[in-house]
């Protein structure tokens, strides 16, 4: 495969190729101390990476000069997760250097495509939230905006997943960031962070209360920069990742006391902080190490941001006009308290101006409505780790509750209820906790959800009191994805078709709206044939991946029905499995084959402690084993679970999909972003009215998407009225009955009878929060309709093409422009 975007007829500059060859050989010789002929594939990858990094660094420095010249306001995107994936292909394509390096690799005797494939994914995130952050950085750089990511340089990213006897097994992901060609350590810019210790209550010379934070431990944060190349290479920003190191001063002190072993063990303790990414993406873990990680990120980031400001400006009066801090969920909400503490304690500002700066600087994005995912820290733990920050938060809360009192004066019981509802400190039965979402809202000038429905629910259900107090703070910013990585580079053949239809032009890479031109060809048989051929060839590519990882070939003449995302009860992989069981039993018991042969493709990781999600993985694999080994079924239905879902695997699955499963219980999926990636690549969505599916429906048109199931309003009503009776669906639908009975029995667990009985019991319980049985019949019917419609190749291809044509709204370029205008006041500086 060659470049996705090099225009036909363009020539490769031979001098550039020779220079690239020299650079690659030099890196092998002088950085690795090896003869170039002796380099391993991985070393060749690293050497190519280092060679590509040179122009990136030149451009990064030029970009910095340009932003400084304009005294530009900068955006700092604080996130505990950045799910970057691989970078070599993306960087080469964005720099328009793929053809040069392809020729250079060839002359060294290796294929560039192969080198690209051996790059380990940077898996510094769990899923949607982390990948969103990575897409935003790509768009910021492409839009020539000064926007920077701040995160943690985890030694271990998200665990690797192996499937053993159908069960998920986790393995550590030691991704060797030290060996990444992209990462530039900046030890000279290390910062020192205090934590633990105690408060000494004292008075200053004027007799005012003057607390002293004493006996803290010190941790050093060492920045590592990952350059982010925008498309066209005009701007190169960076993602700044901090590694935790022991403080030399702190250690030397203990050394001098002669306790060498203690010094070394303290050093190990300090370095734990950036050791590993927490693998949960729903239930807040509540662990001390996680709190320390969150603080470490905020403290390193805010220090860095303040230092940069003070380097170039006199004083802090103008700070909020030069810096915007975006908090990706509540994980970095301590930024509010840390900025206040530095402004008041270390920069000696008065409280009021410091608070004005803090609120004007910070903004908060919410990504979930689920109560169990909202972060709350026990007060004692908080006080132990961050005694001074707790004081600051108490003071923020005291002043905030005064404001609440002014807004709702009396009657007393009502006011007390309001204070309880809104206070940053929760005085719940299980002891006092700090509510991070409240801290984030109070400390921000803007709060946004990530899709229209979700943002509305934030206002009406999650934070109605805050919305009443500050309606102007609440906004929507519907998510987007970078169509360069997810359409152009993942699906190069489709990219070439689009460029050709646009008259041999790449302009759509920075303006996805241009792809609407495909609409004019949606009924053209010749273009349709080409579009189908591209899908077929992507299916073949995926079949090869499947064979390598599972030993199963896929039938590329079948419908690829794809559900790829974290395994979660609310995402309802189980609903999909129940539909497959129905399809299978209808075939073998009733002799009814599906209207078209279908391959059900799953991929996704379960949090290691999430037992129910892990059992769903086992169920998928057992159902797959039974169906794939049944000669009566194999022709029509196949099921495959592709292990170790990650960015680079998604890039192979998405272009091959015909059906995009987006079937969460309405009201639970904040937005989804996989739904956007799949639709862009010409998969037709089968979805509920949830998250961004609603907006995909509006854009694609109702004829080009399949919607089923309860609406979020119906779900909420049934929940409120205790009106859900799964037995009813069981009694009234023979299909539902047969599927539930199959789950209770041992058809799919002959060796371990009863293994899935708990699943049958859950879906039969009136307390099932995810309403599986309520939606099962309409889901089965919608899927049957899709498979029937697939057989009309012309009509189906038109739907698929119209999906690709109409997804302009879901480019993260659009999303980032909205944040820049409505929240960050960030400008573009192309020159």
| Contact set with ligand 26Q (CB under 6 A) | 126-129, 132, 278, 280-281, 284-285, 290, 367-368, 373, 375, 450, 479, 669-673, 691
Q: Provide CB contacts within 8 A for 550, sequence distance 6+.
A: 640, 641, 642, 643
In the bound state with ligand 26Q, the residue whose beta carbon lies nearer, of 12 and 373, is: 373
Would you say 158 or 316 has its CB closer to ligand 26Q?
158
Residue 370: is it exposed, middle or buried by C-beta count within 10 angstroms (0-12/13-18/19+)? middle
Rounded Cα gap, residues 220 and 193, in angstroms: 6
Nearer to ligand 26Q, 153 or 479 (CB): 479
* Contact present, 336 and 375 (Cβ < 8 Å): no
How far apart, in whole angstroms, are the C-alpha atoms of residue 551 and residue 533?
25
805 alpha-carbon distance from chain centroid: 24
- 539 contacts 656 by C-beta, under 8 angstroms: yes
Beta carbon nearer to ligand 26Q, 366 or 621? 366
The reply to whether 217 belongs to the active site is: no
Radius of gyration of the chain (CA): 28
- Residue 362 token pair: 């910070």
- Asked whether the bond before 411 is cis by omega within 30 degrees of 0, the reply is yes
Q: 602 has which bridge partners?
A: 563, 641
Q: Which positions ≥6 away from 115 have C-beta within 8 Å?
A: 41, 44, 45, 48, 88, 105
Minimum Å gap between C-beta 287 and ligand 26Q is 8
Rounded Cα gap, residues 415 and 408, in angstroms = 6
Active-site annotation holds for 677: yes
Nearest to 787 by CA among 600, 627, 602, 623: 600
Name the DSSP class of 217: E
Closest approach of Cβ 129 to ligand 26Q, in Å? 3
From the candidates 673, 685, 797, 815, which is the catalytic residue?
673
Nearer to ligand 26Q, 197 or 674 (CB): 674
Q: How far is the CB of 767 from ligand 26Q (least distance, A)?
A: 22
> Closest CB to ligand 26Q among 325 and 497?
325
Determine which one of 341, 565, 646, 772 is catalytic: 565
Residues with Cβ within 8 Å of residue 154, at least 6 apart in sequence: 124, 274, 275, 276, 277
For residue 451, the minimal CB distance to ligand 26Q (Å) is 7
Minimal distance, residue 80 CB to ligand 26Q, in Å: 7
Least distance from C-beta 642 to ligand 26Q, angstroms? 20
CB of 668 to ligand 26Q, least distance (A): 8
In this complex, which beta carbon is closest to ligand 26Q, that of residue 166 or of residue 608?
Answer: 608
Q: What is the DSSP string of 663-684?
A: -PPTTS-S--SHHHHHHHTTPE
Q: Which of 74, 418, 571, 605 is catalytic?
A: 571
Min dist CB 299 to ligand 26Q, Å, is 18
Q: How far is the CB of 297 from ligand 26Q (least distance, A)?
A: 13
Q: Is the dihedral of CA 393, 395, 400, 401 positive or negative?
A: positive
Q: Give the bridge partners for 151, in sequence order.
A: 241
Q: What are phi and psi of 151, to 5 degrees?
A: -150, -165
Dist. CA 394–CA 387, nearest whole Å: 11
From the candidates 73, 367, 646, 783, which is the catalytic residue? Answer: 367
**Taking the complex as a whole, how short is the minimal distance between the CB of residue 691 and ligand 26Q, in angstroms?**
6
Q: Which is nearer to ligand 26Q, 130 or 230 (CB)?
A: 130
Nearer to ligand 26Q, 390 or 670 (CB): 670
Which residue, 250 or 486, has its beta carbon nearer to ligand 26Q? 486
In whole angstroms, how close is the CB of 433 to ligand 26Q at the nearest point? 13
Residue pair 518/481 in contact (Cβ under 8 Å)? The answer is no
Nearer to ligand 26Q (CB atom), residue 39 or residue 195: 195
Rounded Cα distance between 361 and 340, Å, is 11
Say how many C-beta atoms besides its own lie within 10 A of residue 34's C-beta.
15
**Integer Cα distance of 771 and 595 in angstroms:** 27
In the bound complex, which residue of the shown chain has the CB atom lying closest to ligand 26Q? Answer: 128
Smallest distance from ligand 26Q to CB 286, Å = 7
Rounded CA-CA distance 299/305 in Å is 10
Is 565 a known active-site residue? yes
Query: Residue 673 catalytic?
Result: yes
Q: Indicate left, alpha or beta for 329 from its phi (over 0: left) and psi (-120 to 50: alpha).
A: left
CA-to-CA distance for 815 and 813, rounded, in angstroms?
A: 6
* Among the listed residues 449, 435, 188, 453, the one whose alpha carbon sits nearest the alpha carbon of residue 334: 435
Cα–Cα distance for residue pair 677/483, rounded to 1 Å: 8
Instruction: List the Cα angle 314/239/356 in 5-degree steps.
Output: 40
Q: Report how far residue 266's alpha carbon sits from residue 289's, in angstroms, rounded to the nearest whole number.
A: 15
Set 677, 762, 772, 783: catalytic member? 677
SS3 622: helix
Backbone angles phi, psi at 497, to 5 degrees: -60, -45
Within 8 A by CB and 6+ apart from 769, the residues are 569, 570, 665, 719
Nearer residue to ligand 26Q within complex by CB, 285 or 586: 285
CB of 351 to ligand 26Q, least distance (A): 30
Beta carbon nearer to ligand 26Q, 17 or 129: 129
Distance CA 559, CA 766 (A): 34
Torsion sign, CA atoms 236, 237, 241, 246: positive
Which residues are catalytic, by number? 367, 565-566, 571, 673, 677
């Amino acid at each position: 495969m060659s470049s996705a975007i090099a225009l036909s007829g363009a020539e490769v500059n031979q001098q550039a190729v020779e220079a690239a060859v020299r650079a690659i050989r030099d890196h092998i010789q002088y950085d690795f101390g090896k003869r170039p002929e002796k380099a391993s594939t991985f070393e060749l990858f690293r050497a190519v990476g280092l060679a590509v990094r040179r122009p990136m660094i030149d451009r990064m420095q030029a970009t910095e000069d340009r932003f400084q010249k304009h005294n530009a306001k900068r955006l700092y995107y604080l996130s505990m997760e950045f799910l970057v994936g691989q970078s070599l292909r993306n960087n080469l394509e964005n720099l328009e250097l793929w053809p040069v390096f392809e020729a250079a690799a060839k002359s060294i005797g290796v294929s560039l495509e192969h080198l690209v494939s051996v790059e380990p994914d940077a898996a510094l995130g769990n899923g949607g939230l982390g990948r969103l952050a990575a897409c935003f950085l790509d768009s910021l750089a492409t839009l020539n905006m000064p926007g920077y990511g701040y995160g943690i340089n985890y030694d271990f990213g998200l665990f690797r997943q192996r499937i053993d006897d159908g069960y998920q097994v986790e393995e550590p992901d030691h991704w060797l960031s030290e060996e990444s060609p992209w990462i530039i350590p900046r030890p000279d810019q290390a910062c020192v962070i205090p934590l633990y210790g105690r408060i000494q209550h004292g008075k200053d010379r004027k007799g005012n209360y003057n607390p002293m934070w004493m006996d803290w431990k010190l941790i050093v944060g060492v920045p590592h920069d990952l350059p982010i190349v925008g498309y066209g290479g005009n701007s190169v920003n960076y993602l700044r990742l901090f590694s935790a190191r022991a403080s030399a001063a702190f250690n030397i002190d203990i050394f001098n006391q002669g306790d060498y072993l203690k010094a070394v063990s303290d050093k190990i303790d300090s370095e734990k902080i950036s050791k590993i990414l927490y693998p949960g993406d729903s239930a807040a873990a509540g662990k001390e190490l996680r709190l320390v990680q969150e603080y470490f990120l905020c403290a390193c980031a805010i220090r860095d941001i303040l230092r940069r400001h003070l380097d170039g400006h006199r004083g802090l009066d103008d700070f909020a006009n030069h810096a915007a801090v975006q908090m990706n969920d509540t994980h970095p909400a301590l930024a509010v308290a840390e900025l206040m503490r530095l402004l008041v304690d270390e920069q000696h500002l008065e409280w009021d101006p410091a608070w004005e700066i803090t609120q004007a600087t910070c903004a908060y994005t919410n990504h979930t409505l689920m109560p169990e995912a909202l972060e709350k820290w026990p007060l004692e733990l908080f006080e132990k780790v961050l005694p001074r920050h707790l004081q600051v938060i108490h003071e923020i809360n005291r002043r905030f509750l005064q404001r609440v009192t002014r807004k709702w004066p009396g009657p007393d019981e009502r006011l007390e209820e309001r204070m309880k509802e809104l206070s940053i400190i929760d005085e719940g039965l299980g002891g006092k906790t700090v509510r991070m979402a409240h801290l984030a809202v109070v400390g921000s000038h803007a709060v946004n959800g990530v899709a229209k429905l979700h943002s509305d629910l934030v206002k009406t259900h999650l934070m109605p009191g805050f919305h009443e107090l500050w309606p102007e703070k609440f906004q929507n910013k519907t998510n987007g994805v970078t169509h360069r990585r997810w359409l152009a580079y993942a699906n190069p053949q489709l990219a070439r078709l689009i460029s050709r239809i646009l008259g041999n032009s790449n302009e759509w890479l920075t303006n996805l709206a241009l792809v609407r031109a495909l609409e004019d060809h949606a009924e053209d048989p010749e273009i349709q044939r080409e579009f189908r051929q591209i899908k077929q060839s992507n299916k073949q590519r995926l079949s090869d991946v499947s064979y390598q990882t599972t030993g199963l070939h896929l039938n590329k003449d079948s419908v690829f029905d794809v559900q790829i995302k974290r395994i979660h009860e609310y995402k309802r992989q189980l609903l999909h499995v129940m539909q497959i069981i129905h399809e299978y039993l209808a075939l073998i018991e009733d002799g009814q084959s599906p209207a078209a042969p279908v391959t059900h493709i799953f991929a996704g990781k379960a949090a290691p402690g999430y037992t129910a999600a892990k059992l769903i993985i086992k169920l998928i694999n057992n159902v797959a084993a039974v169906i794939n080994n049944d000669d009566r079924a194999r022709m029509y239905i196949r099921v495959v679970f592709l292990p170790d879902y990650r960015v680079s695997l998604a890039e192979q699955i998405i272009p091959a999909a015909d059906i995009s499963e987006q079937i969460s219980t309405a009201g639970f999926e904040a937005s989804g972003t996989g739904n956007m990636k799949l639709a862009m690549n010409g998969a037709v969505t089968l979805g509920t009215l949830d998250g961004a599916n609603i907006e995909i429906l509006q854009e694609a048109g109702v004829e080009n998407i399949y919607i089923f199931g309860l609406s979020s309003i119906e779900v909420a009503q049934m929940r409120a009225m205790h009106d859900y009776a799964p037995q009813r669906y069981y009694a009234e639908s023979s299909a539902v009955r047969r599927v539930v009975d199959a789950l209770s029995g041992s058809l799919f667990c002959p060796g371990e009878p009863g293994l899935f009985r708990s699943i049958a019991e859950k879906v039969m319980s009136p307390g099932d929060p995810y309403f599986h049985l309520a939606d099962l019949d309409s889901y089965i019917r919608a899927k049957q309709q899709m498979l029937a419609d697939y057989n009309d190749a012309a009509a189906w291809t038109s739907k698929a093409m119209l999906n690709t044509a109409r997804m302009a709204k879901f480019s993260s370029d659009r999303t980032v422009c909205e944040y820049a205008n409505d929240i960050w006041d960030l400008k573009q500086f192309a020159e």
